Amino acid sequence: MLDLPARISDSLLLLIEAQRAVAHLVIDDSQALVQAGGHLDHYGLGGLEFGGPASDQIPLLEGLLPLAETPFLIRSMAMPSGRIADVHFFGDEGTVWVLLLDVTAEHDEAQLVQQKAYDMTLLSQREARLIAQLEAANDELQRAHRELAASQEALQLTHDRLQAELRDAERYVRAVLPEPMTQPFAVDWRFVPSTELGGDSFGYHWVDDEHFAIYLIDVCGHGVGSALLTVAVANTLRSEALPRTDFRQPSQVLAALNEAYPMERHGELFSTVWYGVYQPGSGLLTYATAGHPSPILLSGPAGGDCAAKALEGSGPCIGIVPMARYGQAQCTIGSPARLFVFSDGAYEIARPDGSMLDLPELMQTLAQPLEPGQSELDHVLRVAREVHGPGALEDDFTILKLTL
């Protein structure tokens, strides 16, 4: 034992007691409980009576007394309260001291690491299968190029086939998007990918009868890789396929997504995600963001004067920072109101002179009153195309509207 001053030793003992919820039991040579103290209720051992056989009240002692050796340690034993404790036994001239030290956090962390290792193994296996499929597809493409060099007709046929497959993939990406809804409130959207396969996806569904989830994913880049990843993330959210995750808690959802989709295992691709949960009964919106643009809330009737507010939040993009944790915020939405959730492609639009449309300009566009019957979503898309000028937009244009 270190030769420490009493003041320091006492401080260390107080620190251990506070962090480990220390409790103790004292058993005499007749195996009767004669003393107990510390955080007994923490372990579900409150209300002990002295004088009787200790094992009758404390089943964990059954078969362990008298001690065969001392000191003696049983690691990670489940307590009646559900906590996990290291149980230390010390013999002292016929008296047995039993000390309980809480190790629940370490036990849970070990289980989490074990589960993550298992998940990583599954992901590695899937990655290996995908690599094998991609290598096989690449070999086929190389052979096709050699053959097509001698045949323009064959080249055209192959081109047509690949275009058809891209159209099929594009149809699939659109097919997994949810249909607009009108009851019990309205949800509508506009989605214009910059290429056949973009990096945006989104969804919304009822988590239960009282909680409605809405989310938007924007994977960096475009093309097949980005499209595959954004659809995978959207499907994960739609099917609620994240273990030990309460999908009514946005911060938990984003943290679990970050663990499931590290960029080093997904072609160095990362994504921004906004995830919110709306409770129609109370009007409460709980939300969290992973590097995503702030949604805009318009309070007031459509076609009239509205107050515009950006629902700001912060958090690292999905896949960049291992074991990242995310905060969440809440606001109460009073009807009438409209919530707009969008990707950065809805406002980061280059003008012909090189300047960029920005978020305040998008907010101003949304807050402008429109003629009856006009669509706010179509108006925003029209403004984006007017700002950009001729040609396709450089980034995916995605915007969702929740009307309350």
354: left (phi over 0), alpha (psi -120 to 50) or beta: left
Domain final position from 68, 102, 136: 102
User: Which domain CATH number covers 390?
Assistant: 3.60.40.10
Q: Is 156 within a domain?
A: no
Strand ranges (DSSP E) for 251-396?
Answer: 271-279, 284-290, 296-299, 307-310, 329-332, 337-342
Interior CA angle at 89 toward 87 and 80, to 5°? 35
Extract the residue ranges of the chain whose pLDDT is less than 70: 1-2, 9-12, 15, 18, 150-151, 153-155, 158-170, 172, 195-196
Query: What's the DSSP call for residue 318?
Result: B
Q: Is 162 within a domain?
A: no
Q: How many structural domains is the chain composed of?
A: 3
Cα–Cα distance for residue pair 26/97, rounded to 1 Å? 5
Reported as half-sphere exposure (CB side, CA atoms, 13 A), residue 187 has a value of 19
Residues 59-93 have pLDDT tens digits of 888 888 888 888 988 899 898 989 999 999 998 88
Residues 329-363 have pLDDT tens digits of 999 999 899 999 999 888 888 888 888 888 888 88
Q: Is 159 within a domain?
A: no
Single out the residue of 27, 36, 40 nearest to residue 90, CA to CA: 27
The answer on 137 and 97 residing in a single domain is no
Q: Containing H/E element for 238?
A: helix 224-238
Cα–Cα distance for residue pair 63/241, rounded to 1 Å? 43
Contact partners, residue 397, CB within 8 Å, separation at least 6: 190, 191, 192, 193, 194, 343, 345, 346, 381, 384
Q: Is 25 within a domain?
A: yes
Amino acid at 1: M
Which residue's entry shows tokens 């925003």? 380
Which structural domain, as residue segments, surrounds residue 85? 9-102
Cα–Cα distance for residue pair 37/54, rounded to 1 Å? 14
